[in-house]
Structure 1
Amino acid sequence: MAVHSHADHPHPHHLAEQIPPIQFESTGLDDNGSETVGRRDSLASGAGLARSSSGDEDADTAAEKGEPGSPRTGGHDLEKAASLPHSAPPADDFPDGGWRAWSVVAGAWCISFTSWGYSNSFGVFQTYYADHQLSSYTSSDISWIGSFQLAMVLACAFLAGKAFDAGYIKYLLCAALCFYAAGMFGLANATQYWQIFLAQGLSCGLAAGIAFLPAASSVSHWFKRRRATALGFLATGSSIGGIVYPIMQNRMFQSVGFEWTVRAVAFLTIALVGIAALTVNSRLPPKKIGNIFDFRPLRERSFVLFIAAESIIMLGLYTPYFYIQDYGRAHGVSPNVTQYSLAILNGASIFGRIIPNWLADTYGPLTILTPQCFISGILMFCFIPMCKSEAGLIVFTILFGFSSGAYVSMMPATTASLTKDMRQLGHRTSLLFLFVSIFALTGTPISGAILSRDPSYKSSLFSSGAFVLVGSVLNAATWWVVSKEKGTRWV
């Protein structure tokens, strides 16, 4: 029987660490006609023994997972194993550093900066559109643009992950570059609702969706021992992008106008995605794509509860991201504060992504995620009284940025803790994102529709907070089920 190590149930820090490196098996036949599979990790240093692939099935499973020290060779002796093709590097032969590996991290950081940073800055556009091009439309109508963009980032992961597994990462990044160029330069000249929706919602959302998961996953091909360091650097990209984009857009809208602001954002975004297209690459050869639409994980009670919890939370969580500038301005908060509110919120999320994930390594992701979501829900009920003054708005953005950052970053980590076979982790994560994307699409438009009927923001914020609290209760239910299954409360 194979010995299961702690690595079978990791609590990683970021989405990229959740996606196990692609395994590739080089097959051949020995002199007796038996199949030979792969190579033993120790052959990389010229030592080790070869074994037949017809041996112990548990050992083969460990080899497919890439566990350290697991046998990966067939044949009868060292010479024959060493003569196998060298096109497929051993799964555990990670560079763990060097110029090539760190250039991949830098490129993936650029994608994280552009994809989530730009999506999380839509609140700036929400305010601007309401005063200019789309002044005749309701808040709900305008928010459909941003919610569709956000939903595309999540939904596209389902197919982009499969394309990455098949070795098409360069094609995905080049396609993202083209979609960003078309969307942003088209947005600069857009004046009608449908034009803005296609340019910003569809084209930019699609660009972010097909680039983020493959770029982040590629880091796992190059790092193992130092993976936490590499992914810790990668995790800062989305938060820093969420600081730079809102400040840049708010300041330039006033000085150079909408067209050149969007063009300047386009130049920055295209340059960063271009760097990623040149530097990001997978290290291991591609593998055959299996069944794309595999819903067997939905047979697990704990996983279904978790999907339901995160989906309902998504219905309300992004309401402050979209409307905090509008609310502060409507209640007399200084423009010097409101125009930086999104930047402060995203800046606080840097710590919300790092500290809870660090604690989750010890206490389990569900144990940490559940109270963080409760805090987010409670804070949304405090939005109305807190955000009517400069000091209150700043305090709210810091606290809510921290708690909501934990939700976004810990979804994949929690999925990993619910996964028994790590080879299925990439598919299970993308399946979670597919369902959550549906609620990301509808959440802020629902808040906008409520806001149109009650301009005081009370109904909109209270309903959003209720969604987050209901989802938090389901998170607690998931924690209870999993703790019973594993026999420990640290899950």
Structure 2
Amino acid sequence: MLLAECTKYWQFILCLSILGGVSSAVITTVSIAVLSHWFQRRRALASGLCMAGSSAGGAIIPLILQALFARKGWKIAIRIIAFIALGCYTLGIIMVRGRLPGRSSKAMIDFRAFRSLRLCFLTVAVFSFEFIIFGCAALLPTYVRFAGMSTTVQFYSLTVLNSMSFMGRVLPGFAADQYGRFNVLLCLVLVTLVVMAAVWLPWGSHNDATLYAVVAIFGFSSGGWLSLAPVCAGQLCRTEEYGRYYGTIYFVAAFGVLLTVPVGGDLLQSTSPQVLIGFYSAVLLVGFIALALSRWALLDWHWKWRVKL
């Protein structure tokens, strides 16, 4: 509601960036942590279904806003979205509850968790995933414009990204519960890395069809990263510690979200669209290696291919 009244830059920073960012972080952390109280065998699927809601919103809300901006203007459009959010949050507050008793003496962020090397590697991996996901999502329309494509491609590329991310958050959950959360996540990251380096980097800006195909694959795979990374964190700790581990990992990863847009935007303006994709591919390679090292450490440094992990 306050966002609808913003007219100056500092007001948008205060309302959307600070208040919106803090509240979204609290809601996400609590929601994901509560899942671990109720699910063990099907935790990956439950996480995927939970995280799919944000993809659905990312695909539907831009379509709603596009129609509302043209007909009702900025203020009315934002107020309508605010009431939609109010309804969703009200249902969430009513329905979400924990199973295990809370421990008020435990902080949500506990840096002592980094005594575990496997957690350190996973944190590096999640940092790189968040850096890539939010950088690509935020800069995709700008990338399309710098690549010389139409405004229609700018709009629909985001819709394709979020639509495929919805499926990517749900479907890999089935496979992860059957074949291992780390195993499936590693496969998704590897596929994305190959597509970014072998297709998006050399040919992604050449025509619309190639870009749509690459964005669809990236959206599906990155959706899996978002839903499976928290589940992998849950395999490093006891259920009652999950909230602290999750909060600590994503506290560090949040700096990746903070840095990715200014760094990526500067690269895009000062160099070329393909340099940006090359940079993101290199960051993703670091994340892939860190995730593999976390899995290796979890196996006590005895790499086994066929272990369900």
TM over 0.5: yes
Aligned residues, how many? 304
Name which one, 1 or 2, has greater alpha-carbon Rg: 1
For the pair 1:411 / 2:229, whether they are aligned, the reply is yes
Q: Which structure 2 residue ranges, 5 or more long, are not aligned?
A: none
| TM-score, normalised by the number of residues in structure 1 | 0.56
What is the letter of the counterpart of residue 210 of structure 2? G
SS of the residue corresponding to residue 340 of structure 1 reads helix
Instruction: Find the aligned partners of 2:32 and 2:290 in 1 and give their Cα distance.
Output: 29
> Does structure 1 conserve the Cα–Cα contact (< 8 Å) formed by 2:145 and 2:154?
yes
What is the letter of the counterpart of residue 428 of structure 1? Y
What is the 5 A alignment of 1:393-404? Answer: 393-404=211-222
How far the C-alpha of 1:304 sits from its partner, in A, is 1.2
Which of 392, 406, 415 is matched with 2:210 structurally?
392
> Does structure 2 conserve the Cα–Cα contact (< 8 Å) formed by 1:353 and 1:402?
yes
| Matching residue of 2:240 | 423
How far the C-alpha of 1:296 sits from its partner, in A, is 2.8
> Does structure 2 conserve the Cα–Cα contact (< 8 Å) formed by 1:312 and 1:470?
yes
Instruction: Find the aligned partners of 2:287 and 2:160 in 1 and give their Cα distance.
Output: 25
| Matching residue of 1:280 | 95
Task: Flag the 1:345–1:435 CA change in 2: closer, same or farther, 3 A.
Answer: same
How far the C-alpha of 1:439 sits from its partner, in A, is 1.6
Instruction: Find the aligned partners of 2:266 and 2:218 in 1 and give their Cα distance.
Output: 23
Structure with greater helix share of residues: 2
> Does structure 2 conserve the Cα–Cα contact (< 8 Å) formed by 1:236 and 1:350?
yes
Which of 451, 458, 475 is matched with 2:268 structurally?
451
Task: Flag the 1:255–1:339 CA change in 2: closer, same or farther, 3 A.
Answer: farther
Instruction: Find the aligned partners of 2:210 and 2:116 in 1 and give their Cα distance.
Output: 43
Q: State the structure with bigger RCO (CA 8 A, min sep 6), 1 or 2.
A: 2
Instruction: Find the aligned partners of 1:252 and 1:245 in 2 and give their Cα distance.
Output: 10
Q: Deviation string for 1:202-224 (max 9, x for gaps)? A: 11112212223324544566678
| Matching residue of 1:234 | 50
What is the letter of the counterpart of residue 196 of structure 2? M
Task: Flag the 1:199–1:383 CA change in 2: closer, same or farther, 3 A.
Answer: farther
| Matching residue of 1:477 | 293
What is the letter of the counterpart of residue 480 of structure 1? W
What is the letter of the counterpart of residue 460 of structure 1? L
Q: CA RMSD in A?
A: 2.8
- Work out the percentage of aligned pairs sharing the same amino acid: 26
Q: Which structure 1 residue ranges, 5 or more long, are not aligned?
A: 1-184
Q: Deviation string for 1:102-161 (max 9, x for gaps)? A: xxxxxxxxxxxxxxxxxxxxxxxxxxxxxxxxxxxxxxxxxxxxxxxxxxxxxxxxxxxx
> Does structure 1 conserve the Cα–Cα contact (< 8 Å) formed by 2:176 and 2:184?
yes
How far the C-alpha of 1:283 sits from its partner, in A, is 5.8
| Matching residue of 1:342 | 158
> Does structure 2 conserve the Cα–Cα contact (< 8 Å) formed by 1:334 and 1:390?
no
Instruction: Find the aligned partners of 1:414 and 1:221 in 2 and give their Cα distance.
Output: 15
